[in-house]
Amino acid sequence: MTTPTIRPARQDDTAAVYNVCLRTAADGDDATGRYANPDLLGHIWAGPYLALQPQYALVLEDDEGVAGYTLGALDSRAFEQLCAEQWWPSLQRRIKDPLGGPASWSPDQRLAHLVHHPPYAPEPVVARYPSHLHIDLLPRGQGKGHGRTLIESLLDLLRAEGSGGVHLGVSPTNVRAQGFYRALGFVDLQARPNVLFMGRDISPGDQV
26 within some domain: yes
Distance of alpha carbon 175 from alpha carbon 199, whole angstroms: 16
Burial classification of residue 81, based on how many CB atoms lie within 10 Å of its CB (0-12 exposed, 13-18 middle, 19 or more buried):
exposed
31 within some domain: yes
178 within some domain: no
153 within some domain: no
CATH number of the domain where residue 90 is located = 3.40.630.30
Nearest to 157 by CA among 2, 3, 7, 33: 7
177 within some domain: no
Nearest to 89 by CA among 115, 51, 119, 52: 115
Distance of alpha carbon 79 from alpha carbon 193, whole angstroms: 24
| 62 phi/psi in degrees, rounded to 5 | -125, -165
pTM: 0.93
Over its length of 208 residues, how does the chain's per-residue pLDDT go in tens digits? Answer: 678 999 999 999 999 999 999 999 988 889 999 999 999 999 999 999 999 999 999 999 999 999 999 999 999 999 999 999 999 999 999 999 999 889 999 999 999 999 999 999 999 999 999 999 999 999 998 988 999 999 999 999 999 999 999 999 999 999 999 999 999 999 999 998 889 999 999 977 665 5
Domain that holds residue 141: 5-145
Distance of alpha carbon 137 from alpha carbon 47, whole angstroms: 16
When divided into structural domains, the chain yields a total of 1
SS3 of residue 167 by DSSP: strand
Nearest to 58 by CA among 101, 9, 110: 9
207 within some domain: no
